[in-house]
Amino acid sequence: MKTDGISTEIEIVRSRRKTLSAEIEPDGRVIVRAPLKMPMRDIEAFLAEKSAVIEKHVRRRIAENEKLSETRPFTAAEIQKMADTAMEIIPRRVEYFAELMGISYNRITIRNQKTRWGSCTSGGNLNFNCLLVMTPPEVLDSVVVHELCHRLHPNHSKAFYDAVYKVFPEYDRCDKWLKENGRLLIRRMTGE
Ligand SMILES: [Zn+2]
């Protein structure tokens, strides 16, 4: 579907819900979630009203993706900036999800890791890769939830993933994003 002002692909997904919402996918596509029987003209009116905002988000996402496709190594200044940003963002996200899940933790450390996105020690210390700030916000959240769930299950058992999906139903999509794009980011960190 094409709507005036939004130059992107729009997919409409109907379900048993009461309200309309628009989500921007990592690739810049827009998914509009709509109630089962809402008339098309109401959806179009919603899109027309929100077109400026949606367009802005789509453009930002596409620009981010273009940035991601760069291959030159990060400079030391860029890595420092990422670490600073990560230290601002990640503890807030950990606090939010830990409270939501009723989970405790100890220290949060931000590292320039070359192999992992995050880890959780048996003592409840959480480590996160500063490169996470270069990923979409929901991908960063998915790693936070993954590590916090290790406070419940120190393994990747079914029970572990059940706990992950319960808090973060979109985990698989984010995990896929990280598998597809993460290696490039890590390569830019190592300069390899
Ligand atoms: Zn794990």
Mean pLDDT value of segment 24-35: 87
CA distance 190 to 34: 44
* 192 has pLDDT over 80: no
Is residue 73's pLDDT more than 80?
yes
At 106, list the tokens. Answer: 């100890």
Q: What is the pLDDT of residue 2?
A: 47
Pick the closest to residue 132 from 172, 62, 185, 67 (CA basis): 185
Write down the pLDDT at residue 32: 94
Q: What are phi and psi of 111, to 5 degrees?
A: -125, 160
Q: What digits encode the pLDDT tens for the residues 97-140?
A: 999 999 999 999 998 877 789 999 999 999 999 999 999 999 99
The 10-15 sheet, strands edge to edge:
10-15, 30-35, 21-24
Model confidence at 4, pLDDT cuts 50, 70, 90, reads very low
Within 32-119, residue ranges assigned H as helices are: 40-68, 76-101
Per domain, the residue ranges of the chain are: 10-68, 76-190
From the CB of residue 76, how many other CB atoms can be counted at a distance below 10 Å?
8
Distance 156 CA to ligand 1 centre (A): 6
Cα of 73 vs centre of ligand 1, distance in Å, is 27
What does the pLDDT read at residue 7?
56
- Classify domain 76-190 by CATH architecture: 2-Layer Sandwich (3.30)
Does the pLDDT value for residue 35 go beyond 70?
A: yes
C-alpha of residue 140 to centroid of ligand 1, in Å: 14
Measured CA to CA, the distance from residue 1 to residue 51 in angstroms comes to 13
Please, which pLDDT band fits residue 37 given cuts at 50, 70 and 90? very high
3-state SS of the chain: helix, strand, coil percent to 5? 55, 15, 30
pLDDT tens figures, 134-160: 999 999 999 999 999 999 999 999 999
